[in-house]
Amino acid sequence: MSFSNKLADNFARVLEKSPYSVQDQLVKVQYVQQGNNVVFGRTVRPGEYSNLAYIGKILESTAGKSYLGADAWLDVTFPHVIYITGTRGSGKSFDLGVILEGISELEAPSAIQNGVNPITSILIDTQSQFWTLRFAPNPDIPANAQQLSDLARWNLKASGLANTRFYVPPGTTKFLGDEIELTIRPQDVTHAEWCALLGQEVYGPQGHILAKTLEALQGQAFSVSDMSSYIANDLNWGAVADSSRNAILYKLEDYDRTGLFSSSGISARDLLVPGVCNVLMLRDLRNQDKSLVTAIIARQLFTIMGERHTKKKIADFFGKDDGGSDLPTRVWLLIDEAHVVAPKDELSPARSALVEYVKRGRDSGLSLVLATQQPSAVDDRILSQVNLTLSHRLTFQSDITAAANRIPTKPITCMKMSGTTLTDFGDMIRVLDAGQCFVGDHSTSRAVMLQIRPRISAHGGYSPI
Ligand SMILES: Nc1ncnc2c1ncn2[C@@H]1O[C@H](COP(=O)(O)OP(=O)(O)OP(=O)(O)O)[C@@H](O)[C@H]1O
Ligand SMILES: [Mg+2]
């Protein structure tokens, strides 16, 4: 473990020199001298070093006291809202994997977890690239071979995740053999979500038809064709225009064909098994449908987990047993390509569910991790709750401004890089290589440069050669 004093146990000293020399002193940082560690996401107390996941090494040398090469850890107790930004290929999906490795059960116990009990997670895998999490890197694939040599250099052992479940929508080819079919129950979709899905205003004519239909079918397990039959029945509609009803009918028929809806669909309750990493592989779905799946999961999560924690708090207060629960105490929801799932300027089913999720998450043990290459395109109400950021390379000023605005601490004002002095934080973000980022949190006086560690499980997002 890197928190031990035994040098032999430490991660390797892979960063002894840095091209980046930051002139702003680090006035406040959560540094643990024992083992040369820096903690992000919480204020450290002496001796309390459990629930930490290893994420990389400090990459900058710093004026005054320098922490270059120190091991960087992420707190995994506090319900976090983490925002990962960066251009294509900068390392965002890689980070999601690093975080998942840090919180999940591993095939082989690893020093990347310091006193972590496996935490239940749900990953919205918009590109269906995270199935590799289950496996250690494969030496026969060049990108994985590179990973293995990086791991050796960092003195880390390869390992897959031990407790994973993969879900695919109907029609997607299964290749792992144990993929679970992901379908949604129409009764789990709220009126507002149906409207967003079909691109309709809640109070518009089609919104009205949907409201009446859902009201009529309430309380039963219904299918999309039950909805269509109700809408098609003239007796139910009096003065409502046929054109509005027909417009919905066409859209519902289209949905019926995708097979995404089924009255026996999955519910978030099925995913809430302690310690399981659930990966929803959604590449084959339309963006609206990716958003809908996310909405349903997020909403059910805060409802179920909210109730669980309220019950527990009351029982604790009165010194009673809460009757036990087979639910986990904490859940992490991770969303890759968040701009697709919760865009700022479009109607999307996930938007209000995620706003509510981040508001209630703190009391319900719910963390959220969002990754995006378009920081200016994600809903602001969700981002207002961000408490930790990983900012990778960006190039466009509008994206840099949006990403920098969300960093929950001060930016850097002056950095030297190979003889050049940079005084614009945007320029500092532009020069980063893949896997390098600025980490920002409330417990550190300014953003700190980080080299993210190699992945111990296979990374599936490499570019084809
Ligand atoms: N911490 C790291 N260490 C070593 N290599 C890295 C690291 N992070 C990223 N890379 C390299 O960069 C490549 C791209 O990373 P990743 O797939 O995470 O990009 P991304 O930001 O998710 O891009 P996109 O927006 O296209 O999905 C990886 O395949 C890997 O080769
Ligand atoms: Mg990616």
Number of H helices, E strands in the chain: 13, 19
Per-residue model confidence (pLDDT) at position 464: 55
Q: Are 86 and 393 in contact (CB under 8 A)?
A: yes
Nearest CA to ligand 1 atom 31: 462
Give 167-183 pLDDT, tens digit per residue.
999 989 899 999 999 99
Give 310-353 pLDDT, tens digit per residue.
888 888 888 887 776 788 999 999 999 999 998 887 778 888 88
Give 160-217 pLDDT, tens digit per residue.
999 999 999 998 989 999 999 999 999 888 898 889 888 888 899 999 999 999 999 9
| Residue given tokens 């109907």 in the structure block | 170
Q: Are 370 and 93 in contact (CB under 8 A)?
A: no
Q: Percentage helix, strand, coil, to 5, in the chain?
A: 35, 20, 45
Q: Is the pLDDT of residue 143 over 90?
A: no
Report CA(180)–ligand 2 centroid distance (Å). 23
Q: Could you give the CA distance from residue 21 to residue 416 in angstroms, rounded to a whole number? A: 5
- The phi and psi torsions of 63 (rounded to 5 degrees) equal -60, 145
pTM (predicted TM-score): 0.93
Give 89-139 pLDDT, tens digit per residue.
999 999 999 999 999 999 999 999 999 999 999 999 999 999 999 999 999
If we measure between CA atoms, which residue out of 87, 131, 79 comes closest to residue 372? 87
* Residues by chain with Cβ below 5 Å of ion ligand 2: 93
First to last CA, the chain: 36
Q: Provide the strand spans (E) within 224-381.
A: 277-281, 331-335, 366-372
Q: Which atom number of ligand 1 is nearest to the Cα of residue 463?
A: 29
Per-residue model confidence (pLDDT) at position 351: 87
The residue-averaged pLDDT of 62-79 equals: 94
Q: Are 111 and 54 in contact (CB under 8 A)?
A: yes
**Which residues form the pocket of ligand 1, taking CB atoms under 6 Å from any ligand atom?**
86, 88-94, 150, 373, 434-435, 452, 454, 459, 461-462
If we measure between CA atoms, which residue out of 71, 59, 53 comes closest to residue 2? 71
Nearest CA to ligand 1 atom 23: 89
Per-residue model confidence (pLDDT) at position 6: 54
Q: Alpha helix locations (H) across 259-408?
A: 268-271, 287-317, 338-341, 350-364, 380-383, 397-405
